[in-house]
Amino acid sequence: MSGLSGKRILLIICGGIAAYKALDLVRRLREREISVRAVMTAAAHHFVTPLSVASLSGDRVFTDLFSLTDEAEIGHIELSREADLVVVAPATADLLAKMAHGLADDLASTLLLATDKKILVAPAMNLRMWLAPPTVRNVAALRSDGVIFTGPANGDMACGEYGPGRMSEPLEILAAIEAALAGDTALPLPAAYRANPLARGGAGGLEGRRVVVTSGPTHEPIDPVRYIANRSSGKQGHAIAAAARAAGAEVTLISGPVALADPPGVATIHVETARDMQQAVEAALPADIFIGAAAVADWRTPEAAPGKLKKGVAATQTLPLIENPDILAAVGRRKQDRPALVVGFAAETEQLIEHAQEKRLAKGCDLIVANNVGAGANVFGGDRNEVTLIAADGMERWPSLSKAEVAAKLVARLARKLSEAPA
């Protein structure tokens, strides 16, 4: 078993004499337990058959952008995103030109334009086509867009000439795939989107929905100057509130004490303690989605001292603690007006998945976003997050992403789930 077992490749096969080598590539990927979903261009059918590709990949082959059956089973956007990496082998001059110019007139080019994953291409063409100025320009543009190239190699061409243009051998492509999969394969969001999430227009999927988000730590006073707190910065929760707003929702953010600005367009309520937060949540509900991203303090002192405790007190007294109400569990177990989707977070330092699964059940959540907050993970206060989504029907590990990307992906996921849920 290779370390990449379970990874998923979307393989696009173009028309070219090298297409037969794609079959060997599929076989070698499968040997490493990397799953392969193949898409063939119309021209590829002249060189290999969908049946031979399907028999080696163990999965059906997609060919047609306008197939209603395909679209009903798995939309082309989904197809382009569920993989960990998109590989084009062989990549023809024609497809590279389409990619470089953002054309999307068949399934392969549409998937390449719509994907949010890195793309690795193995070009194969006649050497004059490879060296032709338009191809040289297109390759330079694609490289600067972050497309990874493997090959082409020098060699004898099927057409009798010698030079660069031969597709890399399957083992070389495999090595390039393995190297790419070992890194972060997510494509950063386009700069225009990062600068202005509303650039997505009205297609956010949460128009007309209400979303309530908790974020940040809570402070539990011990006396007028001291409190119990934790390291939460609120960055992830605030990013989720902003992403939900950008997706069109009416958002209420209930924030503990943080050093962040209120997200534009989001009704933000500032609270200090867990009990204040709970009250604010109850007042903000009902909603379609509740997301508990706050790191609520688990304990408080039964009664904060009215005056500052003098330092000598530690010698004679221990600090009594009682448990705070569990805000998320109260929402998840609501009998009336329970949000259609209740999402919790699980911050763990060990046995991440087991503890997160237990939390999901114990707190009546639809989804738990689990993250490792152990030493070295740098989640608290940091700008990146590596999370695993845990639902009743399975789990999904996301690569390390910026907190804004985690937020956008999570919100897109919730919007889809909500649209699938029975009204």
Write out the residues near ligand CTP by the rule CB under 6 A. Answer: 214, 274, 292, 294-296, 298, 324, 326-328, 344-347, 359
Task: Compute the least distance from the CB of residue 362 to ligand CTP, in Å.
Answer: 8
Angle at 355 between CA 350 and CA 357, to 5 degrees: 140
User: Per residue in 86-98, is it b (16+ CB within 10 Å) or e — as a string?
Assistant: bbbbbbbbbbbbb
Give the CA dihedral 254, 228, 379, 215, nearest 10 degrees.
Answer: 0
Nearest distance in Å: CB 270, ligand CTP: 17
Sign of CA dihedral 204, 207, 209, 213: positive
Q: Which is nearer to ligand CTP, 162 or 299 (CB)?
A: 299
Spatial CA neighbour of 7 closest among 40, 24, 30: 30
Q: Whole-number minimum distance, CB 85 to ligand CTP, in Å?
A: 32
Minimum CB distance to ligand CTP smaller for 16 or for 234:
234
Between 16 and 216, CB nearer to ligand CTP:
216
Q: Quick one: 303 exposed, middle or buried, by C-beta within 10 A (0-12, 13-18, 19+)?
A: exposed
Distance of CA 259 to the CA centre of its chain: 26
Structure tokens at 16: 């070219």
Minimum CB separation from ligand CTP for residue 129, in Å? 55
Q: Is 159 one of the annotated active-site residues of the chain?
A: yes
- What is the spatial distance between Cα 167 and Cα 157, in angstroms, rounded to a whole number? 10
Nearer CB in complex with ligand CTP: 18/281:
281
Q: Which is nearer to ligand CTP, 331 or 412 (CB)?
A: 331
Residue 145 or 323 with smaller CB distance to ligand CTP: 323
- Annotated active-site residue in 131, 136, 140, 159: 159
Decide whether 105 or 337 has the Cβ nearer to ligand CTP: 337
Residue 303 C-beta: closest distance to ligand CTP, Å:
18
Q: Identify the sign of the CA torsion 93, 99, 104, 107.
A: positive
Strands (E), 170-262: 210-215, 220-221, 227-228, 250-255
Alpha-carbon distance 331 to 285, whole Å? 9
**Cα distances (Å, whole numbers) of residue 259 to 122, 149, 216, 238, 304:** 48, 43, 9, 11, 24
Q: Give least dist CB 253 to ligand CTP, A.
A: 13
Matching residue, tokens 């000598």: 312
Q: Cα–Cα distance between 199 and 212 in angstroms, integer?
A: 23
* Shortest Cβ 291–ligand CTP spacing (Å): 8
Report the alpha-carbon distance of residue 45 to residue 16 in Å, rounded: 10
Catalytic residues: 159
